[in-house]
Structure 1
Amino acid sequence: MVVGIDVHKRSHAAALLDGNGVVLAALTIPNSLVGVERLLGWLNEHDAREAAIGIENAAGYGRLLCAALAAAGCEILNVPAWRTHRDRHEQGRGKSDPGDAVAIAHVVLRKREQLGPALEPELIRALALLEGLRRQSVYDRTQAIQRLRAIWTQVDPEGEARVIHCQRQRELRKLTRIAFGAGIAEQAAARCIRELAREIERLNDRIAALEHELEQLLRECGNPFADLAGAGATVAVALIAHSGDVRRFKDKGAYARFCGVAPIRCGSGRTADHHRLDRGGNRQLNAALHRIAVVQARVDPRAQAFLARKRAEGKTAREARRALKRHLANVVYRRLHAWAEIALPA
């Protein structure tokens, strides 16, 4: 028997299937510890305590549920949303949470060996949370800078043009004391710029503190990319946080597909050897590999030789860089796999 659970912010829907895919029972529980107790009791009633449980969005709203079920000794598997598309279409028009739970259970029944654990290690979770907050803070700072410049340009375009890096501390100190004139609109603009400058200062402090904490965590757990050109602390954290435990991938090719750097076949007949760019995959991992590739193209002789060889084969500069990213995915996979054997629980 297998169980599929469709998780949401307030409630979860569960479906129990037998080995032939027949629905035996369904249940809806609240997203709380009380709901988890109800689910465990429901599994016991149907002699399904040993059933494999598939959860969609396990790292989001299903986090509490995953932790509680893992503590109870259940086998919890992560079901990516894209894997359930076929089963949802087979159900016809319309959508319901119990129907989604059945689709998730069907995926567990067919693809059990290809699914990874739903509950990521605590170290990966900690790095992912801190990395996500840092990335959001950087985005918020960029937005605040753009708003500040937009307002400043309306009042004093020449003064705004003279400042290149308004996020630096010296410029921010000046902006927190800026004044334009006695007009109501000028006073309002100055007030907005002063508030935005203070907001940028707060975000600078938060980003610096988060980067310090992430670097400390890297030192404690060991940085698998310490000697990899182009992979600074920020890039290393992104690679670890978004890759998770790479032992769940069957091979380096599956990891490259997850990163969105493996080319996709798109030919037929006389064009059977044609490939196209994969615009899917994890875009944060793709961006991290891109940054490494760009840096190595400037400073690493091995990467430069690799790119030159690809150019000699007739590839464009962009296609050669994509090939380098595909190669780097293999390098990252091997390093993360070796690191996981030491730093993460089996």
Structure 2
Amino acid sequence: MVELAKGLAVKARTQAINQLKAVLVTADPVLREELAGLNNSELFRTCARFADDSQDEEDGAEAVLRATRMTLCLLACRIGQLTEQIQDLEGRSARLVERHAPQLLTVVGIGPRTAVTLLITMGDNPERLGGEASFAALCGVSPVERSSGSRQYRRLNRGGDRQANAALHRIVQTRLRFDPRTREYFERRIAEGKTRREIVRCLKRYVAREAFHLIRPTSSHPSS
């Protein structure tokens, strides 16, 4: 539920940011010039302060300009509120992982965000997980056999839970940058003639196996 709430907040914040920038496109040129060159954080802070000075404008100020400034202020305040909500939810997710599956956070490349995604995928589908191979298939990282004439090969699995698949992909990309063992494996497989896509597929399958046994260490040995 925490991740669902976070997803809704992220979507709402993105919409608010798009709306604010759409208002700027049609705003008074003087106002656009005032806000030009600001990065997003500075832009939102500046717009959020418009309410403070809107009451001090002279009576002859244009109503359209006042309305534009107020609209920008409301949108900027909403963006700030949603950002705080997202940060709070991310903190809650991290605490849940630390409490229920801290072993995941000790693995190279797995942070709170990816750990939560994998936990949700596994927890929502207990009846489909007979073992680590089932989890790999559920995440869309199990090899799919294909043939072209006399050539036999394996391609990426385009099925499964795409959120979990994306989480595994982020883990692999992080390891390719920072983990010496993964870099060594990558170089060795490149020397054997494998493509980057094939190597990434193998690494995602390995990470799925590793994550499964970290979350459910006794799953492969059910009690009678």
CA distance in 2, matches of 1:161, 1:326: 47
Aligned to 2:73: 194
Does the 8 Å contact 1:145/1:196 carry over to 2? yes
Aligned to 1:270: 150
2:82 alignment partner, SS class: helix
Unaligned runs of 5+ in 1: 1-128, 342-346
Q: 1:318 to 1:268 in 2, by over 3 A?
A: closer
1:135 alignment partner, SS class: helix
CA distance in 1, matches of 2:103, 2:218: 6
* TM-score, length-scaled by structure 2: 0.80
Q: 1:198 to 1:311 in 2, by over 3 A?
A: same
Does the 8 Å contact 2:189/2:199 carry over to 1? yes
Q: What RMSD in Å do the two structures reach over aligned CA positions?
A: 2.7
Aligned to 2:97: 218
Q: 1:136 to 1:163 in 2, by over 3 A?
A: same
After superposition, residues 299-310 of structure 1 pair within 5 angstroms as: 299-310=178-189
Q: 1:157 to 1:256 in 2, by over 3 A?
A: farther
* TM-score, length-scaled by structure 1: 0.54
- Where relative contact order (Cα < 8 A, 6+ residues apart) is larger, the structure is 2
Moved more, 171-180 or 140-149: 171-180
After superposition, residues 321-332 of structure 1 pair within 5 angstroms as: 321-332=200-211
Does the 8 Å contact 1:246/1:336 carry over to 2? no
Aligned counterpart for 2:190 among listed residues 291, 311, 318: 311
Identity %: 33
Alpha-carbon deviation of 1:306? 1.9
In proportion to residue count, which structure has more helix?
2
Does the 8 Å contact 2:213/2:219 carry over to 1? no
In proportion to residue count, which structure has more strand?
1
Alpha-carbon deviation of 1:195? 1.4
Does the 8 Å contact 2:141/2:165 carry over to 1? yes
Unaligned runs of 5+ in 2: none
CA distance in 2, matches of 1:293, 1:160: 40
Aligned to 1:131: 3
Matched, 1:256 2:131: no
Q: 1:196 to 1:265 in 2, by over 3 A?
A: same
How many residues are aligned here? Answer: 209
After superposition, residues 228-239 of structure 1 pair within 5 angstroms as: 228-239=107-118
